[in-house]
Amino acid sequence: MEILFTPSAPDCPDGGRVGGAPPITIQEHPLFATHQYLLTVPADHASWARGVEVSVLLRRGFTIGDDDLEYPNMAMRAIVHEPSPRGDRPELGWPKLRAAALTVMPNDDSPGLVRIADEPQLIQQEPEHSAAVRADGHQFLFQIDEEGWPVDGELADIAAEYLWGYGSVYFYGTPGPDGVVREVLAGFIDF
């Protein structure tokens, strides 16, 4: 199973989305004291996400030269939550990241910004980067791949900068007895 998501216009108030205000249900989350909103992976596109969305945040001021690039000390965080429309706090979003929908794209040779799959698609082909997160019993869920940012058309300027060195961030979790993941963890950055 592989599902690819890409930013698309116009923006949408719910479902998959990138940039802008975070979902209303999480906008008071304590992580916003140190992190800013990037995107929301929509519910029901994987068995582990039945009835839940996953919103990804990045530590405020993050640069690729920082030292929080591997599990368990990652600058990227994820919040699993019930499906929720956008809130009214755009200042909680990552600066210079335009709001857009995040929609399913056909599986072809084009990279998606978000890729849900059974196994990660590694850049450096070094699976040992996931050893620590897998040792804690977590399985791969999805990745955010900066090769998937639009480079032309209406959304060519959606992101003012590559956030993690034109690389990918890999997210893991452990499904509960019902198969749904309640906690999602960033595993590592590959670039």
pLDDT of res. 136: 96
pLDDT of res. 79: 98
pLDDT of res. 20: 97
Higher pLDDT residue, 187 or 123?
A: 187
Entry pTM: 0.95
Q: With a cut of 80, say whether residue 82 has pLDDT above it.
A: yes
Average pLDDT estimate for 169-181: 96
Query: Which stretch of 92-101, 108-117, 169-178 has the lowest confidence by average pLDDT?
Result: 108-117
| pLDDT, tens only, 97-107 | 999 999 999 76
| pLDDT, tens only, 109-144 | 678 999 999 999 988 887 788 899 999 999 999 999
Percent over 90 (pLDDT), the chain:
82
Residue 170: beta bridge partners?
143, 188
Average pLDDT estimate for 65-90: 94
Higher pLDDT residue, 152 or 80?
A: 80
